[in-house]
Amino acid sequence: MRIVSLLPAATEIVCALGLRESLVGRSHECDFPADVAGLPALTRSRVDPSLPSQALDARVRELFREGVPLYELDEEKLQALAPDVVVTQEACEVCAVSLEQVKSSLARVGSRARVVPLRPSRLAHVVDDVERVAEACGIAERGHEVAHELRRRLDRYRGSQNGGPRPRVAMIEWLEPLMLAGHWVPEAIEAAGGIPLGPAAGAASPYTSWEELKSLRPDAVVVAPCGFDLARTRAEALPLAARLRALAPRTLLVDGNAYFNRPGPRLVDAVALLGAWLRGDAAPYTGAVPLSVLGLAGSGPPPAVPPGVVS
């Protein structure tokens, strides 16, 4: 079995199923587990990811107006790798190479690989996709086992809520322009013990404004820009620290790229992380830092924050 994954979440699913050794190619954004970095990357973005948020958004809009795909797929590498299964997505043309691009490229190189497109929009879909990928790879029973464990953990986290008032939580998916997180995120917030504000579960992530966000009266705000690690999130959020502090008593900056943005197994870890912070647990966690422990914008570099700090 030779598997190519063109979506970071799919790569995480493949590896969680124990198929790391069958993975022969990846997208340029696949970075977990760390050893997948040694695999050939078959895609590249036409947008410079180092651009500031507002410039990134503008460039993506420009390419869409021109009808230009955001990603390129290396057909020569695809042909050479000769995959039996290609796992991709059909949920978001901004997030990864499109399904139509994948199908067209496979046809041009004469590949008869089985294409498994993922289109999750709800939390349950993410777990269901584990079973879909497993079935396509001929290990359906293993898929049931992994999915069962993920569902069991989610049920446990839901059951760990302390029964007190549930905080109203807004999750920011992009800072400039401002966007709220939709799709599976509202249900992830609910599973963590919060009341999600903004879009309904399964709905697309909408643009908003600081005034509209303030009117939602959040008790807590989570900043998890799509595709950004924690260092990038801190860099983007600190100039907006005063505005963020005015929204709610508590704000958490999160490595969204590792957790909430990807519809893969680590989304369950994200629920655990968020639940711990909402409850004020002192248990250590990584990939997040409360805004309250960072310096205000313009006051110098933020202090180093050890894993496990909860505010």
Higher pLDDT: 96 or 13? It is: 13
Contacts of 103 (CB under 8 A, 6+ apart): 115
**Residue 177 shares a structural domain with residue 234:** yes
Task: Identify whether 135 is part of a domain.
Answer: no
Same domain, 113 and 171: no
Same domain for 176 and 109, yes or no, is no
Question: Could you count the other beta carbons within 10 Å of the beta carbon of residue 283?
Answer: 11
Residues 105 and 186 in one domain: no
Same domain, 265 and 198: yes
**Among 285, 256, 275, residue whose Cα is nearest residue 190:** 275
At 305, the pLDDT band (50, 70, 90 cuts) reads very low
Assess if residue 202 is contained within a domain: yes
| pLDDT score at 295 | 54
**Domain termination residue (choose one: 80, 97, 119):** 119
User: Domain range holding 38?
Assistant: 3-119
| Domains: count for the chain | 2
The share of the chain scoring above pLDDT 90, in percent, equals 74
Mean pLDDT, residues 51-79 taken together: 87
Tokens of 197: 């504000």
- pLDDT of residue 303 exceeding 80, the answer is no
175 within a domain of the structure (yes/no): yes
Among 119, 134, 157, the domain-final residue is: 119
**Whether the Cβ atoms of residue 128 and residue 13 lie closer than 8 Å to each other:** no
Query: Do 176 and 287 lie in a common domain?
Result: yes
- pLDDT for 4 equals 98
Domain boundary among 64, 89, 119: 119
Together in a domain, 288 and 202: yes
Q: Is the pLDDT of residue 175 over 50?
A: yes
Tokens 């994948």 locate to 102
Per the model's pLDDT, the better-predicted residue between 299 and 35 turns out to be: 35
Domain identity same for 9 and 94? yes
Say if 157 falls within a structural domain: no
CATH number (domain holding residue 38): 3.40.50.1980
Residues 109 and 212 in one domain: no
Predicted confidence (pLDDT) per residue in 228-277, tens digit:
999 999 999 999 999 999 999 999 999 999 999 999 999 999 999 999 99
Q: Please list, in sequence order, all residues whose beta carbon lies within 8 angstroms of the beta carbon of residue 308, skipping any fewer than 6 positions away.
A: 282, 283, 284, 285, 286
Domain for residue 77, yes or no? yes
Q: For residue 149, tell me if it sits in a domain.
A: no
Q: Is residue 29 part of a domain?
A: yes
3 state DSSP class of 11: helix
- Which two tokens mark 130? 């584990």
| Tokens 């996709």 belong to residue | 129
- Averaged pLDDT score across all residues of the chain: 90
Strand duo 71-73 + 85-89: pairing:
unpaired
Helices and strands, counts by H and E, the chain:
11, 12
CA distance 81 to 211: 51
Residue 56 half-sphere exposure toward CB, CA atoms < 13 A = 19
Q: Clarify whether residues 112 and 171 are in a common domain.
A: no
Q: pLDDT tens across 121-137, in order? A: 999 999 999 999 999 99
Q: Does residue 300 surpass a pLDDT of 90?
A: no
Sequence-distant (6+) residues with CB within 8 A of 306 are: none
Looking at residue 158, its pLDDT comes to 87
257 shares its domain with 202: yes
| Of 48 and 258, the one with more pLDDT | 258
178-209 pLDDT, tens digit per residue, is 999 999 999 999 999 999 999 999 999 999 99
Per the domain annotation, does 91 fall within a domain? yes
Q: Which residue has the tokens 């005063």?
A: 242
> Would you state the pLDDT for residue 285?
62
Nearest C-alpha neighbor of 287 from the set 272, 303, 302, 298: 272
Segment 26-35 long-range contacts (CB within 8 Å, at least 24 positions apart): 27/96, 27/97, 29/96, 29/227, 30/5, 32/8, 32/258, 32/266
